[in-house]
A and B are shown apart, each in its own frame.
Chain A
């Protein structure tokens, strides 16, 4: 596969994408990037650097104010409501707070991933096709909690809830997966488990995956490619091996500190996963 890579057409292309919020804040400043299918991209940067805005522009939960976003060759910024919904159906998304309907069953939450694939009247009546229910159960199996299908979502632990959210995204049978701070509410061992799952799914399904992360060591451990954002501008774009202490300083505007690291599975151990080019002081 790696030998084929250069010839693969880009799946997502951003051309000079900017986002200025109504309060005047420029969250993205002429961002141009392109991504191939199956890449596992981690976006790092300070709070407010534009990580969430960048990810949300890709499914237009945030409307970019300038530029074009091409997905599979189509400019999604021009899409009307119906085309946009059709496009969103192909993009799974998971969130920091899981965004599950807490009072609904796990299965119903996962089935929500099928909504855009079905006629509205059918979903109103709650008549999901047998195939969709089977697909939803398979997705739960893949994230390792098939036995929870009929439990209420709020009876699950945080890590399990995030897995339900991943299953919901998988049920869309997407080609792109967006994850906005997916592990910020989880303890370190659970966070690593969730990131491992995401990475594995990305590989198996050839999913172009975008993950916003706060913690540098996690980014280094899982990313194929790191995008560093600072004040809405891309200040780093490259493989993890290209990350050095100076690129870190460029992204965070200061030296790396132990707070920037979340640690490996054993929270207390020093972070052996960091390459030697980054020195913790």
Chain B
């Protein structure tokens, strides 16, 4: 009681009115407005509405149930060797693309890092190219390359190589710009040229990040490679596309399960390695 009366001025102080929370209200109005706009019927919006989802639900259930085996409708296990074959091709595409892309990304990332680039023009060119590359979705690139080089794994490898290059070079050049400049200063003071600075002072500092980014790109590439067959770029996507079209539900289920298990295993292993690195 006495402690409270010792500070009477607190009770008398008026709490000033807080400012109106404009940002929150503007964001809320914008989100609701955009939702309303996109759910309008075509050609203005998509015509998306929840009722359609609810009404279509039973049909979706039937579809997904058909993917999985029952005693009278077992999975066509004799088809498995062909699936494994195609999945292996997908893995080969992803692996080759990840390695090629990462190997090219390493020197390029040095050109596109402010603290190693030889002048502003080189730096600007490097950054510009990296930004440009990442604007092209990998599926679009694969489709374009498939029409240029013909159906098969080659356009898939090329598309994912370019994707890996773009992602790894961009992430790595950002990391290079944050390294401790001390070792580079020491190599410069000892008369080392730019290549020697990059190799002896900068690369050892970013090597674990480089491996981590390459593994990350590999994880993304596996998933992308599984799909590339849809645009004619080889791998398991080719047979998935075909079996979906012919309503071979059992085969589709088996293919999807194979992809799921493979991606899960690779992601787990790769993520574990990446954690250890950083």
Contact = CB atoms under 8 A, between A and B. Distances in A.
A233 B195 CA distance: 37
Given A86-B191, A115-B192, A120-B195, A103 B185 contact: no
A89 B193 CA distance: 11
Interface in B172-206: 180, 182-183, 185-193, 195-196, 199-201, 204-205
A99 B186 contact: yes
Contacts of A59: 189
Contact of A101 (B188, B190, B195, B201): B201
B207 interface: yes
B200 to A, nearest CB: 5
Given A103-B205, A124-B195, A89 B200 contact: no
A86 B195 CA distance: 16
A33 B205 CA distance: 39
B186 A95 contact: yes
Contact of B183 (A89, A99, A169): A99
A91 B201 contact: no
Contacts of B191: 85-89, 115-116, 172
B263 to A, nearest CB: 32
Interface in A160-204: 165, 168-169, 172, 178
A79 to B, nearest CB: 12
Residue of B180, B189, B192, B193 with most partner-chain A CB within 10 A: B189
Contacts of A97: 182
Contact of B186 (A86, A124, A168): A168
A93 B183 contact: no
A116 B190 contact: yes
A98 B186 CA distance: 9
A115 B197 CA distance: 10
Contacts of A99: 182-183, 185-186
Contacts of B193: 85, 115-116, 120
B187 to A, nearest CB: 6
Nearest to B199: A124
A155 B192 CA distance: 25
B190 A115 contact: yes
Contacts of B185: 61, 95, 99
B195 to A, nearest CB: 6
A104 interface: yes
A165 B182 CA distance: 12
A165 B188 contact: no
Nearest to B208: A103
5 nearest interchain CB pairs?
A116-B191, A89-B191, A99-B182, A88-B191, A99-B186
Interface of B: 180, 182-183, 185-193, 195-196, 199-201, 204-205, 207
Given A61-B189, A98-B182, A116-B192, 12 more contacts: A88-B190, A88-B191, A89-B190, A95-B186, A101-B200, A101-B205, A103-B207, A116-B190, A116-B191, A120-B195, A123-B199, A124-B196
22 contacts: A59-B189, A85-B192, A85-B193, A86-B191, A89-B191, A92-B190, A99-B185, A99-B186, A102-B205, A103-B205, A112-B190, A112-B192, A112-B201, A115-B190, A115-B200, A116-B191, A120-B196, A123-B196, A123-B200, A124-B195, A169-B190, A178-B189
